[in-house]
Structure 1
């Protein structure tokens, strides 16, 4: 009789809201040795979910050399923080570990390949409303769903979560899953740029812009092989408008906190893929440029506060361009005093 296989050794790089939620699921199942790779040490992992909370005391390391050998590396940083995690990735994959990339976008493998050599990479689409509260502490506001491509590596990833408080699916059409999530992700740009919650999409002018962003993503996604419905843009924008007006996706919360933004893996990915296929993406191109400028300002410590120049209610009428007596263009449909920042 063969002895039982040893528990898998998993290193979670990036213990933010998603990384902590995934780690809590693995720890709760009790089938793996989990190490959290963090910049800031903490003694206890706490993930709140409704009235409950999972608490655990995993191994936490703050230096790549201390992580040791692992079977899996689970990268859960924001996409734009991948390069900052390069030292962790290089240290952890040197002994045959697989790399699961639990990030937004559709460029998972290309993003990490410069740092992981020929290691096997498993892209992961994450669906989990969660927010970080403090080092080692997060709040989950819904179930954790992880989707990976079907295949040997995907099924091995699924096996890690047996008995965990998470659902893992192996998708035969992973391209469609990833692009469907990206079509939703691109909408957060309008809220991040205005400094308003997603209820801003109830404005007809912003709704039209948001549909345009998604329509571009749909056209590019189809060229990449995704099966996306003609009515996807209208469906996504309609659902956002019908949802909570105070909803704040992670991109919006990060913008309000004045930290660098994850725009390139979202709207920027649409522009890059569109260029490969000769598909024009002017709206996503413009939004990417504006988010890049905003993010750069945050990095440099700009004094401009998000949304400080002009704050409006999501119920305000859209601004209508009119011509002034001098021949210039002004904004009608709203009082002049509302256009001045305070």
Structure 2
């Protein structure tokens, strides 16, 4: 039996916990702030349900084989409060978050036992424990023993988990997609907003800045990525809402630093300006603070 603790029951954490619980070989513990009766996820393959063990007190946590940190990046301190109880001498930690700085977020766990995870899983939480998963989803992890072991957890599910020899490039490619999503939060419109020609050009500019900084960091990113991301967005479910948009509308904190601010910050390290990412993140952050 593989013991898995999932920290966070939002759209990503809840969906992953529900799918992992479909396998008899897994014993799932959900680490959350508020208790849940069950997880119900509407997926492309039909509705799945799970009733994992639920903990709300870190003092009750016990060592497991895997910890999946699936909180927002600004909640890392709260997630870290669970680690002393969950982490044993062989426990591995999977950091399933946005951005490109996964390995620096939980220094409590040795790097050799930490797996940075890129996830593409369009899902929205409609109520506590209730989630809509819009398509099958995919996961990319480094090509290592720990990465392969993590990917194997999802065998038999509709989530395609794979290893990649160039995780850095994959991470920056995902960041390029995420940084462009700020236009949905600002306009309060779902993916269909990319069909507006002016908005599409703003998205391209955001992505081009990300490409420049990513290349300076060592990623291999083609110029064509900017156009491709606009096309991908127009082909997404027209009502698909990214997490930045959903958080802004709901009045929750946003991952502006992990999705746009990091491009500005790391760009400055290399002498690369990212004015569009800076210009859009500043007023959105101010609007959120006022709300």
TM-score range, shorter-chain basis?
over 0.9
Give CA deviations for 1:110-168 in whole Å, capped at 9, x if unaligned.
Answer: 1222x546672110001111111222221111113111000111112122223334221
1:199 aligns with 2:211: no
Matched-pair contact (CA < 8 Å) for 1:191–1:197: yes
2:31 maps to what in 1? 37
Q: Which of 21, 24, 44 is equivalent to 2:18? A: 24
Give CA deviations for 1:236-263 in whole Å, capped at 9, x if unaligned.
Answer: 1233345555442221122111211111
Separation in 1, partners of 2:43, 2:152:
24
Q: What does 1:175-194 correspond to in 2, within 5 Å? A: 175-194=168-187
Matched-pair contact (CA < 8 Å) for 1:76–1:103: yes
The structure with the larger Rg is: 1
Instruction: Quote how far apart the aligned CAs of 1:194 are.
Output: 2.3
Matched-pair contact (CA < 8 Å) for 1:147–1:168: yes
Matched-pair contact (CA < 8 Å) for 1:16–1:132: yes
C-alpha spacing 1:63/1:144, structure 2 compared with 1 (3 Å): same
Q: Which moved more, 1:23-32 or 1:45-54?
A: 45-54
1:135 maps to what in 2? 128
Matched-pair contact (CA < 8 Å) for 1:28–1:165: no
Q: Which of 166, 171, 176 is equivalent to 1:173? A: 166
2:74 maps to what in 1? 80
Separation in 1, partners of 2:166, 2:112:
23
Runs (5+) with no aligned partner, structure 2 = none
Give CA deviations for 1:265-301 in whole Å, capped at 9, x if unaligned.
Answer: 000111122122221111111222223223323xxxx
Q: Which of 264, 272, 275 is equivalent to 1:271? A: 264
Q: Which moved more, 1:153-162 or 1:116-125?
A: 116-125
Give the match's secondary structure for 1:123.
Answer: strand
Matched-pair contact (CA < 8 Å) for 2:60–2:85: no
Give CA deviations for 1:168-196 in whole Å, capped at 9, x if unaligned.
Answer: 10001111111111101011111212223
C-alpha spacing 1:137/1:223, structure 2 compared with 1 (3 Å): same
1:251 aligns with 2:244: yes
Separation in 2, partners of 1:168, 1:241:
25
Instruction: Quote how far apart the aligned CAs of 1:84 are.
Output: 2.3
Give CA deviations for 1:208-230 in whole Å, capped at 9, x if unaligned.
Answer: 22111000001111111211111
Q: What does 1:122-161 correspond to in 2, within 5 Å? A: 122-161=115-154
The TM-score with structure 1 as length reference comes to: 0.80
Aligned CA RMSD, in angstroms, stands at 1.9
Q: Which of 211, 214, 238 is equivalent to 2:207? A: 214
Separation in 2, partners of 1:232, 1:172:
20
Separation in 1, partners of 2:160, 2:231:
27
Give the match's secondary structure for 1:23.
Answer: helix
Aligned residue pairs total 291
Give the match's secondary structure for 2:87.
Answer: helix
Q: Which of 221, 224, 236 is equivalent to 2:229? A: 236
Q: Which moved more, 1:212-221 or 1:231-240?
A: 231-240
C-alpha spacing 1:262/1:70, structure 2 compared with 1 (3 Å): same
C-alpha spacing 1:250/1:210, structure 2 compared with 1 (3 Å): same
1:105 aligns with 2:65: no
C-alpha spacing 1:54/1:243, structure 2 compared with 1 (3 Å): closer
